[in-house]
Chains A and B, each alone.
Chain A
Amino acid sequence: MPKVIKIFKATIIDLIVAFLFVIATLVLVKIVFGQSIDTAIMLMNTVAIDTKKDVHVDTVLEDSSLKNYPEYGTKYATIEIPKINVKQDVYFGSSLEILKKGVGHDSGSYFPGEGGSIIYMGHNSKNVFRRFSELQKGDEIIVDTTYGTFKYRIYDMQLVNETEKDKLPIQKDKEILMVYTCYPFNNIGYATQRYVVYAELVEE
């Protein structure tokens, strides 16, 4: 047999041994660490989602329950308070970035039409809720969402501290819209109080 073929044959055998080593190692790793590797990949993929992909689907209200909730940070409604001449966009979420754009929706609260507590918040600036003190019991708040229009009537107003979370209770017995802003309205600095307006659903 020519020398070159012998060398080639011996090299191929060595390469086959190497490939068998690779397969044996991968099988070994799969058996010993398979579960942990799957968990690690799953965890990594929870923070590696393609947020640029267009997954937009319309929000629909069915039997007091929303199908396809709006994405965090997106506008899904407008809030109108005729008495104080306010009409603002409502965004799902309550970050400072969102509040710069309009009214925020506390992501821990329900959506209009779901029959529970809805919590909205906005700055006390001129364009948003500066004139909140003029609101009275019986005044209307209209929320026009991408899936329907909801009319609420104010039945109470309260001044609460920012730490008093129990004054904004989350429940699902009755649809209540709670809208708050910082107090005092003409404050200079950081306001630690909130002026809350409570309204109940009157028309859907």
Chain B
Amino acid sequence: MKIFKNIISIILAFLLMLSILLTVALQIVSSTILNKDYIFGKLDEANYYNNVYEQIKDSLAGYIGPSGLDEEVLENIYTREQVKEDINLIINNIYENKDDKINTEDIKEKLQNNIEASVGSGLLTKENKKSIEDFIDKIADEYVQNISHDPYFEKLGIIMNKAKDIVGKVDGIIIFVPIILAVVILLLNIKQISSAIRFISISILTSGLIGIVIKLFIEAKINISNILIINDSFSEVIKNVINSILNNINTMSIIGIIGSIVIIVLTNIIKVNRQTIE
């Protein structure tokens, strides 16, 4: 009977370990990648807003060469604050499944004024006016493209919302699975609570070890520092997010390993002491 009880306890401990891993993974995903505020923090940390501002400046300068216009016409047509607001709008679209558009009317108006001040509107031919309109539209499109990165961010939004749906559905339920399994192990070993605690600790220890294995495996197989997606500034954010997730896994795993080893040793001390007394 005792052997049968131990086998059942081991199986339950194994299932408990799997459920702990799943719960922790879901918690990490929902508190990082699927958390809008976390991403805003990471964008700030990676200096993303300023990098995009500089990147827009470079992109727009490429249109000056063939335009016959002075580079000064691009001065003060947008601000760092505006870039930050527009990036936040796009991030909101991704996370809230919205389709708010970046308003470029202000940029167009300022650019139009700068061009008129530079070349003088009275001297322009009809053809010139048309090509200036096209130029203004191109500049506005380039500004939007540098911030929205369509179609990539659009696809990202679809994936994010699917992931949020799935996590939202299981998140409330999955948290109870390890609790239920731990209670069952405790009930099965009600006469020897120290054994039950040992089994639960073994599950936590195993989860911690697997966490470390996952972290080492990812670091060994993927050259995170060389990731390049869309552009340098966006890649920096991705690298920061991955490293931060790996650090979270590492910290939680180490806490789990140390805590569970301490509990295992303590329960074994209690067990041996009890056997000595008996």
Contacts and interface: CB of A to CB of B under 8 A. Distances in A.
Q: Do A and B bind each other?
A: yes
Interface of A: 3, 6-7, 10-11, 14-15, 17-19, 21-22, 24-26, 41, 44-45, 47-51, 95-97, 99-100, 123-125, 181-182, 184, 186-192
B271 A10 contact: yes
A123 B206 contact: no
Given A188-B128, A188-B131, A189-B133, A18 B65 contact: no
Interface of B is mostly: helix
Interface residues of B, number: 57
Contacts of A181: 66
B74 to A, nearest CB: 13
Contact of A189 (B132, B223, B268, B272): B132
Contact of A123 (B14, B17, B66, B222): B66
A18 to B, nearest CB: 5
B63 interface: yes
Interface stretch (B54-62, B99-107, B163-171): B54-62
Contacts of B17: 21, 25
A7 B228 contact: no
Contacts of A3: 272-273, 276
Given A10-B268, A96-B59, A18 B66 contact: no
A22 B210 contact: yes
Contacts of B181: none
Interface in B221-277: 221-224, 226-229, 261, 264-265, 268-269, 271-273, 275-276
A189 to B, nearest CB: 3
Given A18-B206, A21-B13, A7 B265 contact: yes
B61 A100 contact: yes
Closest 10 CB pairs of A and B: A96-B62, A189-B131, A190-B135, A189-B135, A189-B132, A190-B134, A21-B206, A10-B268, A123-B65, A123-B66
